[in-house]
């Protein structure tokens, strides 16, 4: 089967797809003895002889793919290594055999659920559909959020907040989709509220549960099935969740009145998803017309800018 070279190299565990593209461009990859430097070149891993530098691309005997959930601690980069020397995921995965990599990323200061796998095809499909996949966040806010501010955040972000744990610095929970990762934090900041902690507790039907920071667990077959459904855009949101969580609508003005969530500025199109309609510009008020710029420097044709030889009438 013909596949892109960078995908074959990544599947063999030699490099990530992005690094594989750099290797191809640098002339380090050969196919049947010919140097390949063009991205998008396809090859058949079962028939073609592919090398990356002095190393031949070989696939081990077919092994069962592994899927894990990691509780990423805060202040850890969601990559296998970091050129700046910051803490990363590498040390947490050393005791697990085989090649694993994260599906997507969490912010440096955020904590919570991160899915890890060696299934490159599923990981790629999940990242393409990430915008439409529901994920649940818990946020610890300095103080409490007044009811009026919660309503403003719901209108601004299109995401209702519910109280999760009442305390001097309360915790709130929200389920978001079709939105940037920091949407809630920015919406709360506009209300003068500081988010002290962010924890992702669910992603595509996989829940963090009681997993402690830095610990990992294998996913169940049901959770892997949920990931595959989410990658194909077929994941069903449980009916137990409020309707506005499932549709992205904000309920206001009483029962039966729903307003759609505002279009997010940074739209990330998912496979099979439609781009939101562009808002219609309001009509210009009657009687207000935009004047045309005069071609004459002084505006009106007065005696100061009339062509020579023309006097006043």
Q: State the catalytic residues.
A: 107
**Helices and strands counted in the chain (H then E):** 8, 17
Estimate to the nearest angstrom the gap between the alpha carbon of 240 and the chain centroid.
25
Contacts of 100 (CB under 8 A, 6+ apart): 66, 68, 93, 116, 117, 118
Specify whether the CB–CB gap between 12 and 59 falls below 8 A: yes
Distance CA 123, CA 103 (A): 6
Nearest to 101 by CA among 162, 16, 188, 210: 16
Three-state secondary-structure class, residue 206: strand
Q: Which helix (H) or strand (E) holds 155?
A: helix 147-157
Token output for 194: 């500081």
Contacts of 94 (CB under 8 A, 6+ apart): none
């Amino acid at each position: 089967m013909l596949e892109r070279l960078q995908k074959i190299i990544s599947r063999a565990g030699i490099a990530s797809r992005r690094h594989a593209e750099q290797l191809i461009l640098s002339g380090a990859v050969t196919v049947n003895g010919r140097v390949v430097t063009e991205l998008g070149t396809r090859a058949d891993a079962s028939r073609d002889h592919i090398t990356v530098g002095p190393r031949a691309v070989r696939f081990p005997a077919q092994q069962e793919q592994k899927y894990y959930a990691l509780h990423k601690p805060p202040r850890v980069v969601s990559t296998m290594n970091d050129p700046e020397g910051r803490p990363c995921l590498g040390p947490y995965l050393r005791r697990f055999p085989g090649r694993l990599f994260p599906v997507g990323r969490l912010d440096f200061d955020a904590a919570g659920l991160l899915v890890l796998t060696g299934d490159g095809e599923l990981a790629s499909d999940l990242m393409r559909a990430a915008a439409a996949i529901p994920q649940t966040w818990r946020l610890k806010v300095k103080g409490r959020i007044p009811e009026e501010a919660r309503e403003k955040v719901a209108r601004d972000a299109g995401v209702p907040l519910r109280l999760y744990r009442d305390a001097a610095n309360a915790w709130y929970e929200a389920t978001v989709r079709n939105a940037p990762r920091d949407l809630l934090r920015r919406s709360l900041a506009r209300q003068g509220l500081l988010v002290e902690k962010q924890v992702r507790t669910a992603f595509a039907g996989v829940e963090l549960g009681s997993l402690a920071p830095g610990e990992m667990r294998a996913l169940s077959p049901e959770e892997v099935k949920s990931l595959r459904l989410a990658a194909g855009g077929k994941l069903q949101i449980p009916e137990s969740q409020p309707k506005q969580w499932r549709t992205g609508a904000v309920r206001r003005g009483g029962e039966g009145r729903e307003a759609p969530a505002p279009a997010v500025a940074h739209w990330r199109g998912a496979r099979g998803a439609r781009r939101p309609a562009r808002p219609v510009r309001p009509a210009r008020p009657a009687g207000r017309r935009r004047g045309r710029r005069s071609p004459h420097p002084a505006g009106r044709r007065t005696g100061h800018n009339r062509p020579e030889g023309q006097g006043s009438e």
